[in-house]
Copies of this chain bind each other. A is one copy, B any other.
Amino acid sequence: MSNKQLDPYTAKAENDNLSPQEKIEGLHSIVKNVKTGMLTTRSASGQLHARAMAPAGPVDPNQVTLVFIANRASAKFDEIEHDAHVNVSFYDESTTNWASYAGIAKIIQDKNKIAKHWSSATAAWFGDLGDGVHKGDQNDPRVAVIEVIPDEIRYWYATRGKVGQAVDVAVGAVTGRTAAPGELRTITKSEIQLVQGLTSK
């Protein structure tokens, strides 16, 4: 059983002393820098599969959902239809920052929604199949939006550079004090609902 007293690293790193808006700003700074996340879905046999996906823009300042343009014919849709619980994680090597969105994936094929997030480069991932239907454009029936509506977002925001972190860890190892060269921040379900009330229509 998890036990906070015995896990001083997590306890020390947690920072709940920020407004939802400040937490979203920190989150967006990570996602903007990494650009590409790993979308994890669950197969019928229980296996967890991940693949790289770059969220589509534009992103509103208070937005906590993630939007992906994807090919309906790819295997991830089978997995999402079987279990809508997904995770999208971002890891930034340069800072060690990371973010984890635990949420529900919704599959949307609404033309307006696709148009809002379509970019010309997206076409390259579909290809024109030459049958007059699958043209790799916005009207191609393969094109779908995967919207991830988070239940909880958790992220690590390094408050020290890589060298400072290494020093923290080294000092921790010698002194027995727990290293925590950054902050663990959680955007809770109720904060997400609050923000979604602001941004959805």
Q: Which residues of A contact B (CB under 8 A)?
A: 1-10, 34-38, 40, 42, 46-52, 71-75, 77-78, 83, 85-87, 89-94, 96, 98, 100, 102, 120-130, 134-136, 142, 151-152, 154, 156, 168-173, 175-179
B135 adjacent to A176 (CB under 8 Å)? yes
Q: Which of A5, A40, A96, A136 has the most CB of B within 10 A?
A: A40
How distant is A106 from chain B, measured CB to nearest CB, in Å?
A: 15
* Copies in the assembly, this chain: 2
Complex Cα spacing A35 to B165, Å: 15
Complex Cα spacing A154 to B74, Å: 15
A154 adjacent to B49 (CB under 8 Å)? yes
What are the nearest 8 A-B pairs in CB distance? A128-B176, A124-B172, A127-B178, A6-B73, A48-B87, A124-B179, A50-B100, A50-B89
B98 adjacent to A152 (CB under 8 Å)? no
* CB nearest neighbor in B for A1: B78
Complex Cα spacing A48 to B168, Å: 30
- Contact partner of A50 among B46, B87, B179, CB < 8 A? B87
* CB nearest neighbor in B for A169: B124
A127 with B47, Cβ < 8 A, contacts A3-B73, A40-B40, A156-B52 known: no
